[in-house]
Amino acid sequence: MLKKPETLFVLGYMLLPLLALVSAIVGLTMILGGNKIVGIIVLVVVTQVFTFGAFFALRARKAALLQDSDSAQ
C-alpha cells in the first residue's frame, strides 16, 4: 500500500505537511502558554518527524514513478 504513487502523493504533499504545520502551531502555542520544555520538544521533535516523513514519501513516490515508467517501456 505504501508503494503506490497515489498514496505517497497524499502523504507527501498533503497529510504530513499539514500535520507538521499543526504540530508547529501547537508547539508555539504551548511555548507562549507557559509549557516551554514540552512546547520546544513538540516544536523540534514532532514537527521534524512529520517534515522528514514528507520528504521520505516524496522520494519514495519519485522512485515508484520511475520504476513504473521503466517497466512500461
- The number of CA neighbours under 13 Å toward the Cβ of 17 is 9
Neighbours of 57 (CB within 10 A): 21
Task: Give tens-digit pLDDT for 13-25.
Answer: 999 999 999 999 9
Burial grade of 28 (CB within 10 A; 0-12, 13-18, 19 or more): middle
Residue 34 is placed in which grid cell? 507557559
Task: Give tens-digit pLDDT for 32-65.
Answer: 999 999 999 999 999 999 999 999 999 999 999 9
